[in-house]
Structure 1
């Protein structure tokens, strides 16, 4: 099994678990600003660093849809003549609050130790450094969604937990680009992909292609660092 296939569910467990358990805190952030969550909730770490070009926006939203009515109505985002999406001043304020909320919750959640021998926050700075290097390496192999997300924006006083949470969010888009390229390369539309059963041989072929396209980002760090990442993320609560 490729390393990309091994690490994928570990990254998803940690990041998706973090976001799911932060839901109530994030709702309080949005209530404070009197707005509904939009694309800034998913892409804040990239949007705070740069506008999202049209091709990146299309790639990043292909699974969720790209209706930006709410963002425009609430004054969170605006679009320029080239089709790039950017945060307004109000949108930036909301996105910064979202990033801070997720980072603060990560610091609390990841410090929990159901078993005393678990590393807790002690491993987070090292994991943030390794994932940061992966984001640098991925500039050569990532697609349009990944390039919109990395390098991530990090405030000057960012904690290690905030850095890791933002960097993991960006890292997942390298695989998302790989997956999109795999099913498009197989001649499928998104609608055709969605009706494939988990047992369909074509789905297995697409997953294998996804792993192959996702693998290069992990080859930019040493085997020992890959082991550190797999073990360290595996030890975090999620």
Structure 2
């Protein structure tokens, strides 16, 4: 559900995000994927490795475009230019999501729309706080998230959902690493008992943060996210 809503918001805001880069004459980089953490703090080497485990981790474009810098310890930081781009991306994603989630034709009148966003953002925020005690290296680089003082409910919700996904991402990496697999092996692993076991182990590692919400709040979160387009 979290992935569905966040990926849907990213898809809805795609044109806005691309317009940000086109206006600046830049190519999208890691700031587009990790803005919620990078705007708050540097990304240490272990966090970068975890967050980019399924990709190449090639940062040539970011360095060439002056978006980021890296120190001798492998810690990545946004430059002033990178911060400006990341902030614009955060705003563009929030605006695209707000439009996507707003009620449309009369048949959509039963959908929660903007009125539900502040409450959903608050619930996800509590999950992020709980995750600080259990998250792995990628999550620790993403939370607490950066939010402008005047952030809209849609900006807050998309920002927090983006960061929350990394708690499960860390749980999944820990599960397949414990099973003795590499990133390429888990990506190629077919459906079957071995993958089911890894998914179950992922669930066990990810589940504790949801205990911060009571039963009614968990249903409220699930129903609220499920009702978003």
1:9-158 alignment runs, 5 A limit: 10-113=1-104, 114-158=107-151
Give, in angstroms, the shift of residue 21 of structure 1: 2.0
**Deviations 1:116-168, CA, capped at 9 Å, x for gaps:** 11111111000000100110000011000001001110001101110000000
- Residue 172 (structure 1) aligned to one of 162, 165, 177: 165
* Match in the other structure for 1:220: 212
C-alpha contact (below 8 Å) 2:116/2:224 kept by paired residues:
yes
Once superposed, which parts of structure 1, at least 4 consecutive aligned residues long, lie more than 2 Å away?
Answer: 112-115
C-alpha contact (below 8 Å) 2:103/2:109 kept by paired residues:
no
C-alpha contact (below 8 Å) 2:12/2:97 kept by paired residues:
no
C-alpha contact (below 8 Å) 2:13/2:95 kept by paired residues:
no
Give, in angstroms, the shift of residue 115 of structure 1: 2.2
CA distance in 2 between partners of 1:235 and 1:121 (Å): 12
**Deviations 1:42-68, CA, capped at 9 Å, x for gaps:** 000100000001100000000122110
* Match in the other structure for 2:223: 231
TM-score (norm 2): 0.97
Unpaired runs of 5+ residues, structure 1, are 1-9
CA distance in 2 between partners of 1:77 and 1:108 (Å): 31
C-alpha contact (below 8 Å) 2:50/2:138 kept by paired residues:
yes
CA distance in 2 between partners of 1:218 and 1:184 (Å): 23
Unpaired runs of 5+ residues, structure 2, are none
CA distance in 2 between partners of 1:152 and 1:192 (Å): 31
